[in-house]
C-alpha cells in the first residue's frame, strides 16, 4: 500500500483519481484551498465519507510517510504543501501522469478527447457500458447525475472489469501520455491553445489507438484527418450521410430530442443538438466494443446527465434556473442554441457568464464577440461577471468589459457587473414567469452555489408577494 497526498484534491479531475486509489486500497490524503475557504463542501464531504483524510493547505499534512505528492498542472511551487514535499525529497507527480499510469493497467482503454463535450461523452460511454454489465471503471472531469452501485452520484465509476473510460485533456498537453485501445475525438475548436498547436496533438492521439477511432464528421477540423491504417467509426447530425451513424429528422422539446437513425426513430431525454452529437459519439465508441446501436441507445435513455452540463436546478413560477459549464465560444454557442430553441416568443433568456481565466479570455475574445453578435437577439440578455482569478502570477490585462462593450454598442442586451449581487439584482428586477436563467463558467466551483442562490432568492421573492 502506497500513501498519496493530493494537493488540490477538491478539483474535479484530482478527486476522481483520489477516490479511485482509495477504493483500490491505497492510503490517500489531501488538501484544497477551497476547503480552507469553506467552499466546495459537497466534494469535501464526499472525500471524507470515503475515508480520505484532509488537511489545511499549509504543509502540515505533508510528512515523511508520504510516497508521492500529486499536483495538477495549475499548482505552483509557492504552495506550502509543495514546498514541504521538496524539503522532504518526496517525489512530486502530476495528476495526468498518475492517470496515465492507472489507464495503462487496463486491457480495454477508451480515452475521450476533444475541445468540447468530452466530459459528457465520457459519462455517456461509461453509463452505456455499466448499464449493459460490462463493469467499467470511469475517471471523469464531471459528476454524473446517475447513481452507480447504490452510491451517491460521482465523477468515478469503480467496477471490476477490464475496461476503463477516461477524459483525456489537451489543455496542458497531457493527452500525449495516453495510448488508448479506442481513441475518441469529439471536435476541435479554439479554447486553451491555438488550433495549430492542438490539432497535431489530437491527430497523434488518434494514431496511437490500437483498435480504432471515433471521428466527428460535422467538425471541419476533424473530418479532414486522415487515418489510413485505422478502423474508424464516424457520426453526423443532419450533415454527412457517409457517416457510420447519420442522425436526421431531428426535433426538440423541453422533454428531450428525437431523431431518425438507420430508418428507426429514437428519443433521448436531454436537449440540444450538441448533446445528440455527444450521444452519437458515445454510441460509436460502444460500436467498437461490439455493442449494438439499439442496446446503446436504450441504455442512454436512462442517462440523467452530468453536473453543470445544462443541469436544471429547479423552477419557480415557470422560471427555470440552469447551471452550465460552458466557457468557450463553441460551448457557449451550443448552450445558447439549445435554450433559444425552446423559447416561446414572449419568453426571455438571461445568460450569466464568468470567464474562467485571463489567458483563455484573451485567446478567445474576438471569436466570442463575433459569435455573440450573431447569436444574441431581443430575447437574450448576456450578463458578464469579472474574470475568475484563482491566484498566482497571471497577466490581468484583459477584462469582461472588453467583450461586453462592442456587444452593447451594436445594440445587444449585454451588461458587465462588478459583483454577483449587482448582477442578481438586475435579473430579479426583470425576470418574469416562464423565463430562463443560465449560469455559465468553468473552474470556479462557487458558480453552482451562485446559481442555487438565484433559485432560492426567486423562491423567497415569490413567498413575499
10: in domain? yes
| Angle value at C-alpha 333, between 246 and 356, nearest 5 degrees | 125
Examine the domain organization and report whether 268 and 146 are in the same domain. Answer: yes
- For residue 373, give the CATH number of its domain: 3.90.190.20
Which carries the bigger pLDDT value, residue 408 or residue 393? Answer: 408
Examine the domain organization and report whether 197 and 249 are in the same domain. Answer: yes
Examine the domain organization and report whether 16 and 125 are in the same domain. Answer: no
Choosing from 246, 273, 300, the residue where a domain stops is 300
Average pLDDT for the chain: 93
H helices of 214-357, where?
A: 273-287, 293-300, 329-340
Q: Over the stretch 253-273, which tens digit does the pLDDT of each residue have? A: 888 999 999 999 999 999 999
305: in domain? no
Nearest CA-CA partner of 332 in 115, 13, 104: 115
Name the pLDDT band for 190 (thresholds 50, 70, 90): low
169: in domain? yes
Percentage above 90 pLDDT, the chain: 81
What is the enclosing helix (H) or strand (E) of 19? helix 12-23
Examine the domain organization and report whether 347 and 324 are in the same domain. Answer: yes
For residue 123, pLDDT over 70 is answered with yes
What is the enclosing helix (H) or strand (E) of 414? strand 413-416
Examine the domain organization and report whether 140 and 262 are in the same domain. Answer: yes
Examine the domain organization and report whether 289 and 320 are in the same domain. Answer: no
274, 418, 452 from 322: Cα distances, Å: 16, 22, 9
- For residue 45, give the CATH number of its domain: 3.40.50.720
Examine the domain organization and report whether 268 and 182 are in the same domain. Answer: yes
Domain span at residue 438 reads 311-464
Task: State how far the Cα of 217 lies from the Cα of 340, in Å rounded to an integer.
Answer: 25
Give this prediction's pTM.
Answer: 0.88
| Angle value at C-alpha 268, between 263 and 270, nearest 5 degrees | 140
- For residue 166, give the CATH number of its domain: 3.40.1190.10
Examine the domain organization and report whether 34 and 113 are in the same domain. Answer: no
Percentage above 70 pLDDT, the chain: 97
Over residues 144-164, mean pLDDT: 94
The answer to whether the beta carbons of residues 180 and 152 sit under 8 Å apart is no
For residue 194, pLDDT over 70 is answered with no
Domain count, the chain: 3
306: in domain? no
Cell of 140: 471523469
388: in domain? yes
Over residues 224-241, mean pLDDT: 91
4, 114, 115, 175 from 201: Cα distances, Å: 30, 10, 12, 7
The residues, any chain, with a CB within 8 Å of residue 429's CB and separated by 6 or more, are none
Amino acid at each position: 500500500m502506497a500513501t498519496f497526498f493530493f494537493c488540490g484534491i477538491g478539483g474535479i479531475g484530482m478527486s476522481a483519481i483520489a477516490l479511485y486509489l482509495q477504493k483500490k486500497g491505497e492510503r490517500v490524503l489531501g488538501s484544497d484551498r477551497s476547503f480552507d475557504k469553506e467552499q466546495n463542501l459537497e466534494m469535501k464531504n464526499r472525500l471524507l465519507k470515503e475515508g480520505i483524510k484532509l488537511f489545511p493547505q499549509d504543509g502540515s499534512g505533508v510528512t515523511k510517510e508520504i510516497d508521492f505528492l500529486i499536483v495538477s498542472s495549475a499548482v505552483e511551487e509557492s504552495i506550502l504543501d509543495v514546498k514541504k514535499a521538496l524539503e522532504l525529497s518526496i517525489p512530486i507527480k502530476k495528476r495526468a501522469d498518475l492517470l496515465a499510469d492507472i489507464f495503462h493497467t487496463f486491457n480495454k482503454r477508451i480515452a475521450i478527447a476533444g475541445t468540447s463535450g468530452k466530459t459528457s461523452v465520457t459519462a455517456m460511454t461509461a453509463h452505456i457500458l455499466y448499464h449493459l454489465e460490462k463493469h467499467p471503471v470511469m475517471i471523469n472531469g464531471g459528476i454524473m447525475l446517475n447513481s452507480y452501485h447504490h452510491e451517491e452520484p460521482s465523477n468515478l465509476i469503480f467496477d471490476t472489469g477490464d475496461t476503463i473510460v477516461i477524459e483525456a485533456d489537451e489543455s496542458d498537453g497531457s493527452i500525449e501520455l495516453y495510448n488508448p485501445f479506442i481513441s475518441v475525438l469529439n471536435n476541435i475548436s479554439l479554447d486553451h491553445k491555438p488550433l495549430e498547436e492542438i490539432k497535431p496533438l489530437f491527430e497523434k492521439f488518434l494514431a496511437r489507438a490500437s483498435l480504432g477511432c471515433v471521428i466527428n464528421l460535422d467538425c471541419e477540423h476533424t473530418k479532414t484527418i486522415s487515418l489510413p491504417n485505422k478502423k474508424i467509426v464516424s457520426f453526423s447530425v443532419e450533415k454527412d450521410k457517409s457517416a457510420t451513424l447519420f442522425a436526421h429528422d431531428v426535433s426538440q422539446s423541453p422533454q428531450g430530442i428525437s431523431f431518425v437513425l438507420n430508418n428507426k426513430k429514437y428519443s433521448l431525454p436531454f436537449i440540444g443538438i450538441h448533446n445528440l452529437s455527444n450521444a452519437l459519439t458515445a454510441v460509436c465508441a460502444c460500436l467498437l466494443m461490439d455493442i449494438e446501436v439499439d442496446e446503446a441507445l436504450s441504455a442512454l435513455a436512462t442517462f440523467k446527465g452530468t453536473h453543470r452540463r445544462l443541469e436544471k436546478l429547479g423552477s419557480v413560477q415557470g422560471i427555470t434556473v440552469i447551471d452550465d459549464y460552458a466557457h468557450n465560444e463553441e460551448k457557449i454557442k451550443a448552450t445558447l442554441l439549445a435554450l433559444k430553441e425552446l423559447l416561446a416568443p414572449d419568453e426571455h433568456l438571461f445568460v450569466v457568464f464568468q470567464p474562467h481565466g485571463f489567458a483563455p479570455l484573451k485567446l478567445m475574445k474576438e471569436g466570442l464577440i463575433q459569435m455573440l453578435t450573431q447569436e444574441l437577439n431581443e430575447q437574450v440578455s448576456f450578463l458578464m461577471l469579472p474574470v475568475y482569478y484563482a491566484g498566482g502570477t497571471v497577466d490581468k490585462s484583459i477584462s469582461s468589459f472588453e467583450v461586453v462593450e462592442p456587444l452593447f454598442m451594436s445594440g445587444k442586451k449585454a451588461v458587465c457587473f462588478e459583483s454577483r449581487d449587482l448582477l442578481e439584482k438586475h435579473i430579479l428586477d426583470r425576470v418574469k414567469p416562464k423565463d430562463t436563467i443560465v449560469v455559465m463558467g468553468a473552474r470556479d466551483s462557487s458558480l453552482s452555489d451562485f446559481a442555487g442562490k438565484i433559485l432560492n432568492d426567486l423562491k423567497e421573492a415569490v413567498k413575499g408577494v
